[in-house]
Chains A and B, each alone.
Chain A
Amino acid sequence: MRKFVIICFILFSMQLFSHPHVWIEYAVEVVFSEEGLQGLEIEWTFDEMFSWQIVMDYTEDQDYEISEEENKMIEKEAFAYLAEFDYFADFYLNGKKFEVKKAENFHAKCKGEFLVYHFYIPWKVPVKKETTYLKISFFDETIFCEVVPKKDGLKIKKAENISAEYSMPDRITYQLNFWMNKE
């Protein structure tokens, strides 16, 4: 009986295995100025099937060329909603969650048969002498999308007075530390 209770508990309380219907690979460029962190340039590359659906729905000739007008429609109808999902962002500053309020400079383009979204997330953090710790990752809590980093998916656009280093504590998270250089 005990075994069965355990099985039932597991059965009714857990979820396991992914169920994605859309796959996204992300790349991030961390942008610094002399004052500190300014924001993140994000690039999402979608799988072929989802890319095809967007191309079919929003481009006139279905030719994988996205015009300015079409870009606006994609932003309005297939990107703006993501604000409700915090753009799948899971960001932390010194262990405290950073709420993503907005994304800027959205533009969509196709690389071959893959749809790519570009956008910028402003995140201003002044640089200090002591180390500042950031955690950057994306995930969709509804499991509809599988969001994973590209290989070597993090770049740092550094300012001269700032040092930064990063590592990957798990397969979807970047841990980035930065501090002011000693004069």
Chain B
Amino acid sequence: MKTLRIVLIVFFLLSCVFIFTRENPLTGEKVSIGQSSLLQKSSLWHTIAGWQKDMNSKLNHILKDMKQSFKLKYFLILISVSLLFGVIHAIGPGHGKMIVGAYFLKEKASPINALKLGSIIAITHSGLAILLGILFGIIVKSMKMHGRIDVQNYIGIISGAFITLLGIFYFWQKIKCKNHSLPGKKNEILLGIFSGMIPCPVSMTIILFSIYLDVFFFGFLSVLFFSVGMACTISLLGFIIIKSRHLISRISIKNKQKAQAIQRVFGIVTSLLIIIIGLNLIFTRL
């Protein structure tokens, strides 16, 4: 049981990763994130990417089927595939997991907090995808992929700026040893919104495609369930980090002074990490 717990913790912590790009290489500037060919050569990578490809394709077909006629079977396939796609897609780099990781390493929190933060990220994420989908699919239809990517990049820059400011604020709090200047709830809402603001091209494409097919409601449902799936993964990651942090606190409780010093260093390092993530979001898009 203990081994299983450690394996699970490592597995999810591994998925909480740095990624130094959000550009579409088919239209955008080159941003290197370093050598990833080794990963891409692995069969695990291939398997997970393959699942996502299949689900992406399935959503494409099922939305077309929905246009032809509504069947309960199609509807159930649509929401279950969207949900699963969201769970798997969020395992990949990005989607605010690094911020969630850093935040819960910094803050003392409960599993409910993880669920809240994951949900806020997912709600913001799907809400924005729907708004952008409506903008690109109905209001400024003439905008091509370049334009759409540019708009997404500007939103990413704004998100990065807010995350950086929040990181600076946390850092200042930790340096001054002020732990509760902002209520935890407010912290989570702000962090969740800023992290969720970065649009995911998958959600955007689903919305655009559903508008094109004139089945917007089903596209909306698909993105909603996709986001619920993402929220599950992000919340689970947060939950595991909270548990890991709790485990560390228990280990270091023997020496209270030492434990406090460790907690403070953690707070400072993770605040710096949030600043770095925010700056990275800005500079990879400029």
Contact = CB atoms under 8 A, between A and B. Distances in A.
A15 to B, nearest CB: 4
Contacts of A81: 25-28
A165 interface: no
B134 interface: no
Contacts of A125: none
Given A17-B93, A82-B26, A143 B43 contact: no
B46 A148 contact: yes
Interface in B79-93: 89, 91-93
B47 to A, nearest CB: 9
A29 interface: no
A155 interface: no
Interface string A1-22: 1011001001111111111111
A49 B14 contact: no
Size range of the chain A interface in the assembly? 35 or more
Given A7-B244, A53-B145, A143-B21, A20 B29 contact: no
B49 interface: yes
B212 A171 contact: no
A18 B56 contact: no
Contacts of A84: 29-30
A39 to B, nearest CB: 23
A20 B248 contact: no
Interface string B29-61: 111111111011101111011001100110111
Given A21-B201, A48-B57, A14 B17 contact: yes
B40 A146 contact: yes
A12 B276 CA distance: 12
A77 to B, nearest CB: 6
Interface string A144-183: 1111100000000000000000000011110000000000
A143 B93 contact: yes
B251 interface: yes
B285 to A, nearest CB: 13
A171 B41 contact: yes
Give the dominant DSSP class at A's interface. Answer: mixed
A93 interface: no
Interface in B156-170: none
Interface stretch (A63-71, A99-107, A134-142): A134-142
B10 interface: yes
A15 B205 contact: no
A56 B30 CA distance: 25
A15 B251 contact: no
A4 B248 contact: yes
B25 A140 contact: yes
Nearest to B13: A11
Give the dominant DSSP class at B's interface. Answer: helix
B172 interface: no
Nearest to A144: B25
Contacts of A172: 37, 40-41
A17 B273 contact: no
Contacts of A1: 248, 251-252
B15 interface: yes
B66 interface: no
B205 to A, nearest CB: 5
Nearest to B31: A142
Given A23-B49, A57-B144, A77-B27, A7 B13 contact: yes
A56 B101 contact: no
Contacts of A90: 37
A101 to B, nearest CB: 16
Contacts of A10: 10, 13-14
B151 to A, nearest CB: 14
Interface of B: 6, 9-10, 13-19, 21, 23-37, 39-41, 43-46, 48-49, 52-53, 56-57, 59-61, 89, 91-94, 101, 144-146, 200-202, 205, 208-209, 212, 244, 247-248, 251-252, 273
Lowest 5 A-B CB distances belong to which pairs? A19-B92, A18-B49, A15-B17, A142-B21, A84-B30
Interface of A: 1, 3-4, 7, 10-23, 47-50, 52-54, 56-58, 77-79, 81-82, 84-85, 88, 90, 137, 139-148, 170-173
